[in-house]
Amino acid sequence: MTPLGGVGEIGKNMWVLEIGDEMLIIDSGVKFPENDLLGIDLVIPDFDYVLKNKEKVNGIVLTHGHLDHIGGLPYLLKELKVPVYGTKLTLGLLEGNLKEHNLLKDTRLKVVHSGKAVKVGNFTVDFIRVNHSIADTCALAIHTPLGPIVYASDFKFDQTPIDGEVADFHKLAELGDSEQGVLALFSDSTNVEREGYTLSEKVVGETVDEIFRDARERIIIATFASNIHRIQQIVDAAFKYNRKIAFTGRSMINNVDIARRLGYLQIPDDMIVDIRDCSSLPDSQIVLLTTGSQGEPYAALTRMARGDHYHINIKEGDTVMISASAIPGNEKFVGQTINKLYRRGANVIYEDVSGVHVSGHASQEELKLMLNLVKPKYFVPTHGEYRHLYKHAALAEKTGISRDNIYIAEVGDKIKFTDEKIAKEGNIQSGDILIDGLGIGDVGNIVLRDRKLLSEDGIIIVVVTIDKKGNILVGPDIITRGFVYIRESEELIEAATKRVKDSLKECEESNITEWSVLKNTIRNSLNNYIYQKIKRNPMILPVIMEV
């Protein structure tokens, strides 16, 4: 079992299971870039190992429809034609994704119902109902000669789920109690730092009900577009309090459409109004469901907060609920959105009020319950940064699994299970592939280093035209971008130009004509001067033209 992503990081979850000459892929997600990946749109796993073993791959099994578990598939399926197995909603969401990449026709999607098993090549895979912040999530039990491997990422145990479908405790118990026993458990570490139980999704329904009861004018709610159960609860409240619903934001509209079509979301047609027609209804009869719960710069709620949404202007009396918590790294953006909404007069209800959002990931008590139900021989914490994996390992030890039977994995570790032990058996090529626009992997460290340099102090370009003998014909001319306001720094630029001119003159007089020497001369004289004057290090790019 080898992770291509999702351990030691949040995102791009993907594992490869190998038995003999056969391979099974579990999930294939994307990761959203950290701040230091300037200009990068997405990060996907390095698929090299899988593609080199194409003929071995029997298929891909999916746990749920979040992008950090399915978003890498379009890039993988371009080069790997194998069937994909998942529950109905998971594949419904994947379809939309594949359509955008023109891959839908070529891909065999096989719906599996939770509670059922499926045969993928020689692998038998049980799809086991668990709860999560998206409907139709499953843990997987993959049967191997040494016993089943249970892959439970992501999950929570919701004792009062919206759709009435509690997790399949019985199946998990049955596996744990079987004679052979469970070989290994792979389990979600996201919330391992939280004590107790994660609250039920129903709690949010109660908060939503209170908000609807109190609000006199418009209600605007931002939440994750994939949280179908949350959306259903908002719809139910709207029905109860006699409000119509409008949707805004591309992913909100798409996901609602897919979920309604597949029967995961019940909304009477006459409850839905087009966002352009909102203004024809009284404010007390409207609820608006929108994207932007993370303060993403171009999402609908962010536009409303900024005042540049096409159809909706925030006004006094509006109640805005942000039904989400800020994903680490987004706190500032969410905060800015809240400030702007308040400034426009809205009443904003967000994370500081309890019951506005609940997590989709299991807390400590649920993680221990999973461990005690499944009773695995070996344990591999997944879905978390290193500290989460470390703490989940400590938690598993407390439930009685010995330290030797726990493995904290790094991306690319080939983890081998035998009857005697769990151990690393070498590495495979792995890592991050960066996607920028349509380019896949054409941006790497050097390009990013340059982008960082450019972003901090800009660039100075020095152009000089010389003749074949090395005499200067035109220039040196200095052009800058992202450096300083030229008008306020005329003196500096003039003095810098003179510096370069003088040092080139010296070269000319010493009959130095090698371009590399000239370029270094320009770079050094300018670098020193600029740093001494204003303590900055712009990128300096000498360009020599010879005529």
β-pair partners for 196: none
Q: For residues 67 and 251, give the distance between their C-alpha atoms in angstroms, rounded to a whole number.
A: 12
Q: How many residues bind a second copy (CB under 8 A)?
A: 68
Minimum Å gap between C-beta 81 and a second copy is 25
Is residue 8 part of the contact set for a second copy (CB under 8 A)? Answer: yes
Taking the complex as a whole, how short is the minimal distance between the CB of residue 364 and a second copy, in angstroms? 11
361 is in an annotated binding site: yes
- Residue whose CB is less far from a second copy, 272 or 440: 440
Q: Which of 159, 160, 279, 339 binds a second copy (CB under 8 A)?
A: 339
Count CA atoms within 13 Å of residue 352 on its CB side: 6
Rounded to an integer, what distance in angstroms lies between the CA atom of residue 228 and that of residue 275? 20
Give the residue numbers marked as catalytic: 188, 361
CA 38 to chain centre: 16
> Using the rule CB under 8 A, is 439 a contact of a second copy?
yes
Closest distance between a second copy and the C-beta of residue 34, in Å? 7
Q: Is 345 exposed, middle or buried (0-12, 13-18, 19+ CB in 10 A)?
A: exposed
Ranges within 381-420 binding a second copy (CB under 8 A): 385-387, 390
Side-by-side strand order, sheet with 378-382: 117-120, 123-129, 138-144, 147-152, 184-188, 378-382
482 is in an annotated binding site: no
Q: Closest separation between CB of residue 457 and a second copy, Å?
A: 5
Q: For the chain, percent helix, then strand, then coil, each to nearest 5?
A: 35, 25, 40
**332 belongs to the binding site for a second copy (CB under 8 A):** yes
Q: Which of 169, 239, 342, 529 binds a second copy (CB under 8 A)?
A: 342
When asked if residue 444 is in the footprint of a second copy (CB under 8 A), the reply is yes
State the DSSP string of 60-103: EE-S---HHHHTTHHHHHTT----EEE-HHHHHHHHHHHHHTT-
Q: How far is the CB of 498 from a second copy (least distance, A)?
A: 19
The answer to whether the peptide bond before residue 154 is cis (omega within 30 degrees of 0) is yes
CB of 444 vs a second copy, minimal distance in Å: 6
Burial class (CB in 10 A: 0-12, 13-18, 19+), 58: middle
Number of C-beta neighbours around residue 12 at 10 A: 28
DSSP at 36? T
Taking contact as CB under 8 A, which single stretch among the options 58-66, 232-240, 326-334, 501-509 is the one that binds a second copy?
326-334
Smaller CB separation from a second copy, 82 or 460: 460
Q: Among the candidate windows 82-90, 283-291, 339-347, 361-369, which touches a second copy by CB under 8 A?
A: 339-347
Residues within the annotated binding site for substrate?
225-227, 357-361
| Positions that interact with a second copy (CB under 8 A) | 8, 34-35, 38-39, 193, 328-329, 331-332, 335, 338-340, 342-343, 348, 352, 385-387, 390, 436-439, 441-444, 446-448, 450-459, 461, 463, 465, 473-475, 477, 479, 481-485, 488-489, 533-536, 539, 541, 543, 545-547
Q: Which residues are annotated as a binding site for Zn(2+)?
A: 64, 66, 68-69, 132, 154, 383
